[in-house]
Homo-oligomer: A and B are copies of this chain.
Amino acid sequence: MQHTLYPPSRLGDHPWRIVETGFNAVDYSLNATLFALGNGYIGLRGTFDEGLLGAESDAGCYLNGVYYAEPIRYGEKAYGYARHNQRIAAAALPHELTLALDGQRVDLRCGEILEHRRELRMDEGLLYRRLRWRAPNGPVLVLESRRLVSLTERHLIATEYHFSLESGIADIELASSLNAVPGVMTDSDDPRVGAGIHKEDLVSRYSHASEETLALSHHLLSSGFTLSSAAAHHFDGAPVQFIRHASEPFRATSHYRFALTDQTSVTLTKYALFDHSRGEPVALDNRLKECRRHRFADYARAQTRQMQQFWQTADIEIDGAPRLQQGLRFNLFHLFQSLGRTPDTNIAAKGLTGHGYDGHYFWDSEIYILPFFLYTQPQLARNLLLYRHRILDSARARARELAIPKGALYPWRTIGGEECSAYYPAGTAQFHINADIAYAVRQYHEATGDDEFLRDIGAEIVFETARLWPAIGHFNPHRDGQFCINEVTGPDEYTALVNNNFFTNAMAQRHLHYAATVFDWLQNHFPEQARTLYRKLSLKPAEVAQWQHAADAMFLPFDATQGIHLQDDSFLDKPRWDFEHTPAEHYPLLLHYHPLTIYRHQVCKQADTVLALFLLGEQFSTEQKRRDFDFYEPLTTHDSTLSACAHSIIANEIGYTDKASAYFEQVARMDLDNHHRNTQHGIHTACMGGTWLCMVQGFAGMRQRHPQGLSFRPRLPSGLSGYRFQIQVRGQQLSVRVDERQVQYRLVSGDNLRLRHEGDSVSLTRDQPEASFPLATTATPSPHGAAR
């Protein structure tokens, strides 16, 4: 289902840069997402500093973890529905810079664009821009700018502007603002679009402007957050005259004027600081002073250093496919920009690049995104799980609302910890989120060996989440006492409220087994902490035995006739969706068919059973995976961006190399090519995480499983001549290089690393850090041809 709207050359194929040349208003929203910058705390959409007439609502600046909390209105309410929607809050726009050239407003919809170019430099972490613009019958202004959202000073956005003229003389008027004026509510039928900015909720706390600085603060009544921002201006070059300042609620502005000739220029550095609190505004004056001691170039250098450190361990180099290389780096770059760095924050489905999905955190974090960080920067992965621990009390309270007598139920979507899903059949009913989080705890512990984490943080999460399953499942006398879990929704949201969703049951089984294992592990290794925790949770061996029993007796739906796993009890009883008569413009189906129409049919929005085959891969034979893939793949629309990566990985496992590559190409350039036509609302961070999964767990076949340990089965995607990446495992750094002939493993740091290559044991040591093997190949023709 490839919906490429843009020719391949639109953003270039530079391996480190996303390049926009010229200006096309149609792309403005999309590019505002693609050129967004962030540092895990602040996210700033890539709109023009001078704005664009009629496109004001495309601008956005967000603070991770800060949200409105407006009551959810239901047409018809029922007990236990989520009460409030936590929507990511709009911070002041820090870059607004209205310009007039001899009284003519500088706007790319007017005048003549002689040259326009933006470059997102992923190796530097900066957005560059160059504009040559002629006012109607006027001189040519050259505006060059560099923007960064600092990776070293998390509160800072810095921009440097250079103004010059190509000929003649001109008066420039410049109004620089901090702008938090509430925008217009959006009202879309597309459930994937967030609800936009909410006016009534805002109270201005202060607004100051002076010759050199701006300061603004506003309070969100609904959630109690107070957002504060401050900005300073530093001019170099030709003389600049301060004209006046203006402060109104939600906007502070300083006005300047200067004259330019073709011999003079002016450079402006604008520093903008952001912070938030739960009460009084945060004073930013001193920090602003501190920032101003540094020049833009200082921050730019520090930024580049940070990016280099990131790429050193995180990069995946591929040979022979520059556009895939560009897409791959773009995806990893945005993950790094989006990830919250504190236990109060996580990573939103759209990162900090738009208000799509209202800025909510989903299971995407644990299942799609965590592995990338876990194997490249485990300390950042740890934070994702600390966040889950922080919101455990909210998850406990939520469980009580759902009549689950003990334990916790994590919210399907949230920022602050409370369930925000206003449509429970595709929200709260996705109980699998509990298993997903426990899966991530296990994965983290296996990759890092961080026993303290498991002891102090992970174990409590694992136990409390495990308690869900006995509460909502039961030993079904009508199925020989097997443990059944009814009325759930799996990852595939084109089927809802089913019994015995295969993914859910299989993940719950793994979860319960693991919880019992951790119970023993904690008791054996940390008896004192175990006592304390078990007392706190009133956790007794009898309950753990019940977990084991449920796990052992877990019902996994299977159709013996076709030899396939069933997505749920009734999947085979439904007629197949009439794909043949569904026009292309009716995709994604959710925007063109009522849920009842969709749910009634065999049709999948995304990988469900196929995803389980990946996550729990050691439980299933290759032949089984092939049968399941052959059955489900033709029924899957991939209307979710979470789907393609799981399909690529399993396609790899079963030797469908053509499909593996085709799916990977979609994943790698999902946002750059706007495959789902909604990147204007924000990037797709889960899919970006899927990029890394496709490469490392798909093509390189990396797995880390207990007790087998680390293993690889590298393959070369069609069209590529080689690839290289590094992973960190338990503090040791491993480099993996694959080319057309061989696979090379090298221990970059560490003493001793054991792994398996194609099933054979390999030991790397400080003395013998390298091992090479010929590249294996397996390919099986897939029955349905290349991926759609």
Contact = CB atoms under 8 A, between A and B. Distances in A.
Interface of A: 72-82, 85, 188-189, 191, 401-403, 421-425, 427-429, 472, 474, 476, 478-479, 484, 486-487, 496-497, 499, 569-570, 572-575, 590-597, 599-600
Contact of A594 (B72, B75, B403): B403
Given A75-B82, A569-B570, 8 more contacts: A80-B593, A80-B594, A80-B595, A402-B594, A476-B573, A484-B573, A497-B497, A499-B574
26 contacts: A73-B75, A74-B74, A74-B422, A74-B423, A75-B82, A75-B423, A76-B191, A76-B421, A76-B427, A78-B590, A401-B594, A402-B596, A402-B597, A403-B593, A425-B425, A425-B497, A429-B596, A472-B600, A479-B573, A486-B570, A486-B574, A487-B600, A496-B497, A497-B497, A569-B570, A570-B570
A496 B424 CA distance: 13
Given A72-B75, A422-B76, A487-B599, A499 B573 contact: yes
Contact of A474 (B77, B486, B575, B590): B575
A86 to B, nearest CB: 12
A467 to B, nearest CB: 15
Contacts of A81: 75, 594
- Closest A-B pairs by Cβ, 5 of them: A75-B422, A80-B594, A76-B423, A72-B75, A487-B600
A478 to B, nearest CB: 5
Contacts of A402: 594, 596-597
A396 to B, nearest CB: 16
Contact of A191 (B77, B82, B422, B497): B77
Contacts of A573: 476, 478-479, 484, 486, 499, 569
A74 B77 contact: no
Nearest to A82: B75
A478 B82 CA distance: 38
A167 to B, nearest CB: 54
A111 to B, nearest CB: 40
Nearest to A431: B596
Contacts of A422: 74-76
Nearest to A484: B573
A597 B496 contact: no
Given A75-B72, A573-B479, A497 B590 contact: no
Contacts of A189: 77-79
A593 B80 CA distance: 7
A187 to B, nearest CB: 9
A200 to B, nearest CB: 15
A571 to B, nearest CB: 10
Contacts of A484: 573
Contacts of A424: 594-596
A519 to B, nearest CB: 26
Contacts of A427: 76
B403 A78 contact: no
Contacts of A596: 80, 402, 424, 428-429, 487, 497
A398 to B, nearest CB: 10
Given A472-B600, A474-B575, A575-B474, A78 B570 contact: no
B191 A78 contact: yes
A599 B488 CA distance: 10
Contacts of A479: 573
A191 B76 CA distance: 6
Contacts of A82: 75
A75 B486 CA distance: 25
A474 B577 CA distance: 12
Contacts of A597: 80, 402-403
Given A478-B572, A486-B573, A572-B478, A78 B600 contact: no
Of the candidates A401, A421, A429, A575, the one having the most CB atoms from chain B within 10 angstroms of its own CB is A575
Nearest to A575: B474
Of the candidates A81, A496, A570, A599, the one having the most CB atoms from chain B within 10 angstroms of its own CB is A570
B78 A497 contact: no
A505 B80 CA distance: 31
A478 B403 CA distance: 36
A476 B595 CA distance: 21
Contact of A78 (B72, B76, B423, B486): B423
A78 B423 CA distance: 10
Nearest to A559: B478
Contacts of A594: 78-81, 401-403, 424, 428
A621 to B, nearest CB: 25
Contacts of A497: 425, 496-497, 596, 599
Nearest to A555: B573
Given A478-B572, A573-B476, A595 B486 contact: no
A291 to B, nearest CB: 41
Contacts of A476: 573, 575
Contacts of A595: 78-80, 424
A73 B73 contact: yes
A595 to B, nearest CB: 6
Contacts of A570: 486, 499, 569-570
A564 to B, nearest CB: 13
Contacts of A472: 600
A401 to B, nearest CB: 7
Of the candidates A78, A427, A478, A569, the one having the most CB atoms from chain B within 10 angstroms of its own CB is A78
Nearest to A495: B487
A15 B72 CA distance: 49
A569 B590 CA distance: 26
A539 to B, nearest CB: 22
Nearest to A572: B478
A188 B575 CA distance: 40
A79 B591 contact: yes
A601 B99 CA distance: 65
Contacts of A478: 572-573
A570 B402 CA distance: 22
A75 B85 contact: yes
A125 to B, nearest CB: 35
A590 B79 CA distance: 7
A408 to B, nearest CB: 16
Nearest to A599: B487
A572 B499 CA distance: 12
A479 B574 CA distance: 11
Nearest to A576: B474
Contact of A75 (B74, B425, B572): B74
A596 B403 CA distance: 10
Nearest to A594: B80
A477 B478 CA distance: 23
Contacts of A76: 191, 421-423, 427
Contact of A593 (B79, B423, B590, B599): B79
Of the candidates A188, A191, A403, A487, the one having the most CB atoms from chain B within 10 angstroms of its own CB is A487
Contacts of A574: 486, 499
A427 B574 CA distance: 21
Contacts of A428: 594, 596
